[in-house]
Amino acid sequence: MTVSNRFARTPWTIIARASAGDDAVRRQALDAFARMYRPACEAFVGAWWKNAASQHRISAELADEITQGFFVEVVLGRDLLATASPEKGRLRTLLCRALENYTRDRWRRRMAREQHESQAARTNGASDQANGRGTHDAVRNFDAAWARAQLTEALARTRERCLTESQRQGWALFERLVLLPAVYGTERPEMRDAVRETGTPDAARGHVLLRETRMRVLQALEEVVSETIDHPREFAGEIAYIRKLLADGVMARG
């Protein structure tokens, strides 16, 4: 299955299919939904847990366990998506609220197991005071992870299109000059070296191809965002917010 095929349906269509009567269709839709949102949910859990009790830093294994439990017990078990609709507000807001409640409950149960009853009571009170701060950071982490997922999908679509539309030189230049230095910290080559490595005629043509490829990535990002917003009127604000979250990422380093 290609990247484009994985994202051929919008999240709201996926949500509708998740409530279908056919078990196979429902399971496929839930799997697709989990792939889209799991990284963001794990980021939320990690940030909330850290703020609730910094002395109990969450491990990657526990964050994964809590996220898995959320999808099994809440998204699937309580049919969370059945309560979602564009008219009721942002899907991210619904997910964050439900995930916060689930994570808080898991945190309290874990503290109760690890401490004496009186100590657990005091810890619960401390966690309530930290909730406001912790929730803000957790939502920010959720949104940042979601923005990175959007960009990753946009990059994958751009690469696929460039390789099938005779734009291989443009993608190769973008990869060497922008993507690899930003993601893997490789040294950014000079344009004259990059054009020689990619078989581009000259530096002038290289600059044109690089600019065109950057525009293709931005257009693909707008395409991905348009498929995930709750209402068309939210598009401008959503794309601006995602670009802000990615300000220190790949596109800012080109």
The C-alpha atoms of residue 33 and residue 138 are separated, in whole angstroms, by: 20
Binned at pLDDT 50, 70 and 90, residue 54 comes out as low
Q: What mean pLDDT comes out for the span 105-111?
A: 79
Binned at pLDDT 50, 70 and 90, residue 21 comes out as low
| Statement: residue 75 has pLDDT above 60 | yes
In eight-state DSSP terms, residue 233 is: G
The predicted structure's pLDDT at residue 85: 74
Sorted by sequence, the CB contacts under 8 Å of residue 42 that are 6+ apart come out as 63, 64, 67, 145
Q: Summarize pLDDT for 171-195 with one digit per residue, the tens.
A: 999 999 998 888 777 889 999 999 9
The predicted structure's pLDDT at residue 171: 94
Least confident of 100-104, 112-116, 128-132, 195-199: 128-132
pTM, 2 dp: 0.59
| Statement: residue 128 has pLDDT above 70 | no
The predicted structure's pLDDT at residue 49: 82
| Statement: residue 39 has pLDDT above 80 | yes
Binned at pLDDT 50, 70 and 90, residue 124 comes out as low
133 or 193: which leads in pLDDT:
193
Binned at pLDDT 50, 70 and 90, residue 208 comes out as very high
The predicted structure's pLDDT at residue 120: 44
Mean pLDDT, rounded, of the chain = 78
Nearest to 108 by CA among 52, 59, 70, 69: 52
| Statement: residue 114 has pLDDT above 70 | no
Q: What mean pLDDT comes out for the span 228-238?
A: 75
| Statement: residue 196 has pLDDT above 90 | yes
Enumerate the H helices of the chain as residue ranges. 3-6, 11-18, 23-52, 60-69, 91-114, 117-164, 168-174, 180-184, 191-198, 203-228, 235-245
Tokens of 147: 């923005």
Tokens of 74: 């809440």
